[in-house]
């Protein structure tokens, strides 16, 4: 299904019946990746899941967005359903959006429960070596961007970016690359304690993108939170250990 919000045609799924659960996906993902979760939850709930702008079948935003822009967009999208209360399941980048959204005053809805799967939001501290490396990269980029050197070595800066950039960064369009830079450089830890609803944290203990230490920190910060650890799973624990995650979801929403 498609719904237009601010001239952006949003691809979404609206499945099942009952209390509403909204799914916010991770960076670089789309709703098809969460088919298992949607299938499990839609047995007893109405599940609304959508590709956020720039992912899946939803066009990218007209300009680089920050997390606040995505939060604004999600609020508008959900308002189109006239929802008054619902629960949320978020993965990775979806957690960033939730923390921003939840911190807003006078929201037109109430969040009953939240499930955070390998959620992003805590800014990792850079080591001394990483800080030096970043500084050297910025200096080299500035030097190679000068007119004379750019004329002699037109691909130098792009090659440097590709070598240094993550797969998400290198595979993105220019707009989404700039969006990613805005997103990952914001520390949302000061907002996490504002999530007051019952919260289930699900984490892969081998997650290198958002390490288990982030999950433990969120468990400390969120007043009513419990942590389920998926041993041997990485950043996509919901796919790597689907039976365990599906069981935890079913139990959490049935309680």
Top CATH class of 2-123+186-254 equals: alpha beta
pLDDT tens profile 135-184? 554 564 665 577 765 666 676 656 655 565 567 778 789 999 999 999 99
Average pLDDT over residues 109-115: 98
User: pTM of the entire structure?
Assistant: 0.86
Mean confidence (pLDDT) of the chain:
90
The residues facing 225 across adjacent strands are 199
* Domain segments of the chain as ranges: 2-123+186-254, 128-174
Q: Crossing angle, helix 128-144 and helix 156-164, to 10 degrees?
A: 160
pLDDT at position 138 is 55
């Amino acid at each position: 299904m498609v719904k237009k919000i601010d001239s952006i045609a949003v691809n979404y799924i609206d499945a099942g019946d009952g209390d509403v659960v909204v799914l916010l996906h991770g960076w670089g993902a789309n709703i098809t990746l969460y088919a298992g979760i949607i299938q499990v939850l839609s047995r007893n709930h109405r599940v609304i899941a959508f590709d956020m702008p720039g992912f899946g079948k939803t066009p990218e935003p007209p300009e680089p967005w920050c997390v606040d822009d995505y939060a604004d967009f999600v609020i508008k999208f959900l308002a189109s359903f006239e929802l008054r209360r619902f629960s949320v399941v978020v993965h990775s980048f979806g957690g960033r959006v939730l923390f921003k959204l939840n911190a807003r005053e006078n929201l037109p809805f109430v969040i009953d429960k939240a499930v955070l799967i390998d959620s992003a939001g805590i800014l990792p501290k850079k080591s001394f070596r990483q800080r030096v490396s970043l500084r050297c990269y910025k200096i080299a980029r500035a030097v190679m961007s000068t007119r004379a050197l750019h004329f002699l070595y037109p691909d130098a800066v792009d090659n440097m970016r590709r070598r240094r950039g993550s797969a998400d960064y290198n595979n993105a369009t220019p707009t989404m690359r700039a969006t990613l830079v805005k997103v990952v450089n914001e520390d949302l830890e000061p907002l996490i304690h504002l999530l007051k609803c019952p919260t289930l944290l699900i984490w892969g203990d081998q997650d290198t993108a958002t390490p288990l230490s982030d999950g433990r920190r969120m468990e400390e910060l969120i007043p009513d939170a419990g942590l389920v650890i998926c041993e041997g799973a990485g950043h996509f624990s919901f796919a790597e250990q689907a039976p365990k995650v599906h069981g935890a979801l079913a139990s959490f929403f049935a309680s």
